[in-house]
Structure 1
Amino acid sequence: MEIIYISSSILIGLGAIATGIGFGILGGKLLESTARQPELSNLLLNRTFLITGLLDAVPMIGVGIALYLIFVVAPHYHT
């Protein structure tokens, strides 16, 4: 049963790490592309906010799956 708790914590942790790396790459590419073509800064910023919203969905799905494992799957192993 402890394996469910360990797998849930790994799921949340890896999702958070991957999202942090993704935000770092996204921000770096935004700065790089804005420096190359400043006239497109509004378009690039709008698209960056769209991708940011999609990137935030990844750890939230991981948290949802982890909570499902902890509160729905794990109690069935006690019986």
Structure 2
Amino acid sequence: MIVSWSTEVGLSVTGTFASPGKGSPRADAVVVVPEGAAVLFVEVDNGTQDPAIVAAKLDRYRVFSHRTTKTTQGRQVSMW
């Protein structure tokens, strides 16, 4: 079951969600499924981009998925 989905979503590798930093990828779609399951980032290419550019975007998705944040106690934890 899909809970929600959005298109052209900026994924803040740096910066904030409201203002993603330079180099942050923009997913063609983000799909959210019920609690406890993964979020799916979708990248669609119709052969218009060089494979190296698509590969670099996928690497930035990986960086985004490993992003951390600080708890109120100052401890670094995974955002997910």
TM-score grouping bracket, smaller chain normalisation: 0.3 to 0.5
The structure in which a higher percent of residues are strand is: 2
Larger RCO: 1 or 2 (CA < 8 Å, sep 6+): 1
Q: TM-score, normalised to structure 2's length?
A: 0.35
The higher radius of gyration belongs to 1
TM-score (norm 1): 0.35
Choose between structure 1 and 2: higher helix proportion.
1
